[in-house]
A = this chain, B = another copy of it.
Amino acid sequence: MKISNRAFNTPASPIRKLFPKAEEATKRGVKIYKLNIGQPDLKTPICIKKRCQNYSKDLVYEPSPGIPELISTWAKYFATDKLPVTDKDLIITTGGSEAIVFALLATCDPNDEVIVFEPFYTNYKSYAIQTGVKLVPVTLKIEDNFHLPKIEEIAKKITSKTKAILINNPSNPTGTVYKKKELQAITDLALKHNLFIISDEVYNEFVLDKKNKFISMMSFTRIRQQLILIENASKKFNVCGARIGALISKNQEIIATATKFAQARLSSPSIEQYALIPIFKTAKKYTQKICQEYKKRRDVIFEGLKKIKGTVCLKPEGAFYIIVKLPVNDTEKFCAWLLDCFNYKKQTVMLAPAKDFYATPNRGLQEVRIAYVLNSKELKKAIEILKIAIDKYNKK
């Protein structure tokens, strides 16, 4: 019995596929600094946990597009940033991942094309395979801090099959916060060629420097009928396990379509939807604080990496990731070696090889993604250990 080709072609998560090696190392008594996965160490807010604990209703299906009160409070949260999101523009999804799958299904038929900027969030690959969509990558450069190339470079990729441009701002894995000029150029391109924009803005709260500003695609008035925003509570509120995201569009045909997809999977988890309702009212207060924390960590990581000879990276501007080029030939082998063969005083680090964040084969072979999801003290130690490991690896 043969599994399908698409099942065969679906990549194992590069972030998670090193797990068995990590388990083995742990069994050998090695402490691992886990910088491979975007699972912050920060606490889930007490108010959310309390609401979970106070949930007393039976676990019945909630409405497929989400609990109305959550829809309403989430829509209002956008008003803080003067974005015109109303209740009828937003449906709740089971995580941001489901929102992206819905967006691809709504805009593309099988074999249609979506332009993406590589390196990109690696799970986009799986969503594309599941939905039969072809991702067409525009390669970004580490020396540009992964900002967009000239618009002509992007325009070149458009074919009769292109249906959408998928952009992640601030970007996982690069930490890039796109500038108004860049985003404006993308909207102009989409308007000219009649393309949808799928704007994954789940890290919107995490812009680390005052000189930069997060600009939502929704702030460009003319693009709104072609725009789908991807939203997620996971990282904003440290509730990764809640699986509550949202899909937002001013195009009511998109919302009606997403609602049909939502009906087929019945509903999103009840308790977590209910528990998230109040946090949106004080969201900015909460996220500003954790944003300060990420800024501190970013500085620790960046200063630490600068001291490792042969590394290349620019200072990330947002989210909590950095792509760094290491002085090794193949980071996939190096990351495995870190877990299998190396330890310094019974300690090692776990990183995500960047190769799988690219769609173009053999790109990013020397790069890793680091998620700065540990506190500053631990990050300092982790970087010290990484430095020792690189020295040892290159002397092998």
Contacts and interface: CB of A to CB of B under 8 A. Distances in A.
Contacts of A132: 110, 132
Tallying the copies of this chain within the complex gives 2
Size class of the contact patch on chain A: 35 or more
A282 to B, nearest CB: 18
Interface in A232-260: 238-243, 251, 253-254, 257, 259-260
A223 to B, nearest CB: 10
Contacts of A281: none
A62 B239 CA distance: 11
Contacts of A238: 58-59
Contacts of A43: 58
A267 B251 contact: no
Given A61-B240, A263-B126, A269-B269, A106 B3 contact: yes
Given A10-B261, A13-B64, A13-B264, 7 more contacts: A10-B257, A53-B53, A58-B238, A59-B241, A97-B264, A126-B264, A271-B272
Contact of A242 (B49, B52, B269): B269
Given A269-B241, A272-B59, A130 B261 contact: yes
Interface in A113-139: 123, 126-127, 130-132
A6 B109 contact: yes
Given A105-B130, A240-B266, A271-B271, A3 B123 contact: no
Interface string A137-174: 00000000000000000000000000100000000000
Given A3-B254, A108-B4, A265 B55 contact: no
Given A53-B55, A126-B263, A107 B4 contact: yes
B1 A194 contact: yes
Contacts of A123: 263-266
A48 interface: yes
A266 B244 CA distance: 12
A255 to B, nearest CB: 11
Interface of A: 1, 3-8, 10-13, 16, 37, 39, 43-44, 48-49, 52-56, 58-62, 64, 94-95, 97-98, 105-110, 112, 123, 126-127, 130-132, 163, 194, 196, 225-226, 238-243, 251, 253-254, 257, 259-261, 263-272
Contacts of A268: 243
A270 B253 contact: no
Nearest to A270: B241
